[in-house]
Amino acid sequence: MIAALLKVTDLTVVHDGDGGERTLLDAVSFDLAAGEVLGLVGESGSGKSLLCRSLVRLLPSSRLRISGGSITLSGRELTTAPEAEMLAVRGGEIGMIFQNPSSHLDPVMRIGDQITEGIRFHQRLDAKAARAAAVDILAQVGFPDPARQYDSYPHEFSGGMRQRAMIGAALSSNPRILIADEPTTALDVTIQAQILRLLMDIRARRGLSVILVTHDLGIVAQVCDRIAVMWQGRLVEIGEKRGLLAAPAHAYTRSLIASHPSLPEEDMPAKAEKLRTPGAVPVVDIEKLHVRFATGGLFRRGAVDAVNGVTLRVMPGETVGIVGESGSGKSTLARAVLGLTPVSSGTIRFDGTDIASGRAVLGMLRRQTAMVFQDPYNALNPHLTVGKMLAEVLRVQGKIETAQIPARCGELLDLVGLGRAFLDRKPRSMSGGQCQRAGIARALAVDPKLIIADECVAALDVTIQAQIVELFRELVERMSLTLIFIAHDLAIVRNLCQRVVVMHRGVIVEEGRSEEVFSRPKHAYTAALIAAVPHIDPDKPLLAPSKMATPQADGVAN
């Protein structure tokens, strides 16, 4: 029997609050062998990220503490190790890749210098040797021109390339274990496939052990050796992936598998389409839209077309999905529709009125539209409780009486599946999924005619994704809401949206009814996107490297 590299036994973490002690991790036990990839799955708040941080004793609050259990790395006990020893363990033996590279990469520090920092601290190399090692790592993680890109800053790269930089920073200390906490959550499917294949290639070359934290069972089915399932702070099931997926023992595991939005192998029946009123005015009418951004510096200026001649109409009550890779122009198009991004040429009409015709139109747009953003932490005010945030929106909108605002705030939280206890919670005390649901509640507070959801379920586990998708479906039906749903999860778009629009490099390359586009894609790019979707069948391989988008294509920011 192979000895465990990492052994966790009855690990318990508690929160010491004003109301007493509360258990957050309850006697968690598992082993990790050398070279093994363990998938850690569970819903938001189940304790996945807290478990990973506990392994390196980086608890996110001073009120949290390890109250019991053992963590041994190659026989060394980590729970009682002195801080000086833990400094060597963090990065040097256990590296971490975080969910949001934008929050964990220093925005004013060059990418290469951030990788060199770990090399110099753990490997004690001089500046020249450390730079050479950093350039080599950038090449290993897929940077097309590592020597030049060493001196670039995080904002100069797309999300996929920033995530590669995060992986490079984690590898810079040459760890034996890599903890990847939702490393592909915010990435489109082709870039996600690249990052997953990159992790597997690095694991094969370096003999790394990997703990892969994710809410996507398709990912763990594709790349992991074993799967561990967490629920309410407990590890409820662990086992070899094929056996666990084929015969899950715990009811929660069965619900996770049932909620996974895999693309169907056969054609699905067409979604019922509402009869359009003759002569109905489109809610959104876009014609020959161009949005250009300046590029270059003082002596070398240029422009890039983020949206290049797009024409699109969205009718009342319609649900339209927009899909495409990072940098394809999806979010830029959405922000232009809401008047948040200047338009270079072309027209956008909302309810028949050109949004460029005056301030009054923009005011009307703010009262009748809402957006749910991709990054829940940056989208919420960190200083306000959820209740105060919702009340602020309701007061500004002025659509209900002041005395009714507290009750309406509670109703909004009920709609998105948060308990009313969250009215007094601030974003820093909530998980990413909980913050995103609060963001959706804020959008609903506007009582909008149009909602644009920009990757709004990217950070949610599959069971909550299914609930939010069903919520949107009910809202569209009950309130005649019009929904533009931007996502990189094609399976969700397939299940929710009547119509799908595929964007690539600022252009719409394919558009049509969802069942037709997904069953019989006409454009090669659409077919590549569909092929890249991770499948819950562990014997269906990841997209072949030759069919994936190249890093060069992903090397510019959105």
Percent of residues, the chain, with pLDDT higher than 90: 42
Position 544 scores a pLDDT of 47
Residue pair 483/453 in contact by the 8 Å Cβ criterion: yes
Q: In angstroms, rounded to a whole number, what is the distance separating the alpha carbons of residues 22 and 521?
A: 52
Mean predicted lDDT score pLDDT of the chain? 85
Measure Cα distances from 57 to 83, 170, 287 in Å: 9, 17, 54
Is the pLDDT assigned to residue 30 strictly greater than 60?
yes
Is the pLDDT assigned to residue 421 strictly greater than 60?
yes
Tell me what the mean pLDDT of segment 405-420 comes to. Answer: 89
Q: Tell me how long the chain is.
A: 558
Tell me what the mean pLDDT of segment 216-243 comes to. Answer: 91
Residue pair 177/94 in contact by the 8 Å Cβ criterion: yes
All domains in the chain, ordered by first residue: 4-101+175-259 (3.40.50.300), 284-535 (3.40.50.300)
pTM of the entire structure?
Answer: 0.74
Top-confidence residue, 104 or 523: 523
**Sheet containing 209-213: order of strands:** 94-97, 177-181, 209-213, 37-41, 226-231, 234-240
**Residue 144 burial (10 A CB sphere; 0-12, 13-18, 19+):** middle
Nearest Cα neighbor of 489 from 376, 323, 244, 350 is 323
Position 264 scores a pLDDT of 57
Largest CA distance in the chain: 74
Position 266 scores a pLDDT of 52
DSSP 534: -
Position 487 scores a pLDDT of 84
Q: What is the rounded radius of gyration, in angstroms, for the C-alpha atoms of the chain?
A: 24
Is the pLDDT assigned to residue 197 strictly greater than 90?
no
**Residue found under tokens 């989208």:** 379
Nearest Cα neighbor of 385 from 431, 432, 417, 430 is 430
Confidence class of residue 222 from pLDDT cuts 50, 70 and 90? confident
Tens-digit pLDDT profile for residues 424-438: 999 988 877 788 889
How many C-beta neighbours within 10 Å does residue 399 have?
A: 13
223-227, 356-360, 431-435, 503-507, range with the lowest pLDDT = 431-435
**Sheet containing 284-296: order of strands:** 301-314, 284-296, 345-350, 353-354
Is the pLDDT assigned to residue 445 strictly greater than 70?
yes
